[in-house]
């Protein structure tokens, strides 16, 4: 089937796959809702809402993907981000991450992951597999994905802090006074 479609159109459709799937599911839900009566409309409404949610996620992922063939390879496994590049590389556990920055001063634009276990890890946004970072970064506590996407699409000229680990709240046991 890909022989009938121009390669550049096929690549754009593959890039927007979540958006297209979500739109198709929402359309099926809308058709179901319009062709049903009373309680029969409820599954159509639910399917339509599910499709809209998938399409929304697809739009966010589409905004995160950056075209290009940058240096290195990114792998995300469970709660770890690994980058293997021609000049540097490393592995960072997400629970050791202190902050996430977007640095426009390098060529290409790159993510800077600051963590407790060693030197900062710099990952070009155009590295192979970098689209998997969206899901990894979405797991960070209190991250604002819209802020991350805005920074990526309009990087400016200075390094931007995209996310910073929230200060640890004092636990009840740390507030107890030792009387003995």
DSSP string, 87-117: S-EEEEEGGGEEEEEEE-SSSS-EEEEEETT
DSSP run (H or E) holding 164: strand 160-164
Question: Read out DSSP for 32-82?
Answer: HHHT--GGGHHHHHHHHHHHHHHHHHHHHHHHH---S--SSEEEEETTEEE
Query: pLDDT category, 68, cuts 50, 70, 90?
Result: low
The stretch 102-124 carries a mean pLDDT of: 90
Mean pLDDT of 72-82: 92
Say what angle helices 41-64 and 17-34 make with each other, to 10 degrees: 160
Contact of 104 with 115, CB cutoff 8 Å: no
The 8 Å CB, 24+ separation contacts for 165-169 are: 165/97, 165/98, 165/99, 165/140, 165/141, 166/141, 166/142
Q: What average pLDDT does range 86-101 have in this prediction?
A: 92
Q: What is the pLDDT of residue 16?
A: 86
Please tell me the least confidently modeled range out of 8-12, 21-25, 85-89, 132-136: 8-12
CA distance 85 to 109: 14
Order of strands across the sheet that contains 80-84: 73-77, 80-84, 89-93
What values do phi and psi take at 102, rounded to 5? -115, 120
Q: Kindly tell me if the per-residue pLDDT of 178 is higher than 50.
A: no
């Amino acid at each position: 089937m890909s022989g009938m479609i121009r390669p550049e159109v096929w690549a754009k459709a593959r890039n927007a796959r979540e958006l297209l799937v979500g739109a198709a599911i929402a359309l099926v839900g809308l058709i179901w809702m319009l062709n049903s009566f009373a309680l029969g409309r409820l599954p159509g409404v639910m399917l339509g809402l599910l499709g809209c949610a998938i399409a929304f996620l697809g739009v966010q992922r589409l905004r995160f993907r950056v075209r290009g063939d940058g240096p290195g390879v990114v792998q995300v496994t469970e709660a770890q981000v690994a980058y293997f590049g021609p000049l540097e590389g490393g592995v960072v556990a997400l629970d050791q991450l202190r902050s996430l920055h977007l640095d426009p001063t390098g060529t290409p634009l790159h993510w800077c992951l600051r963590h407790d276990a060693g030197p900062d890890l710099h990952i070009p946004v155009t590295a192979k597999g970098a689209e998997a970072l969206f899901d990894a970064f979405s797991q960070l506590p209190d991250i604002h994905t819209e802020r991350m996407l805005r920074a990526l699409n309009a990087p400016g000229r200075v390094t931007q802090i995209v996310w910073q680990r929230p200060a640890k709240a004092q636990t009840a046991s740390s507030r107890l006074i030792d009387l003995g």
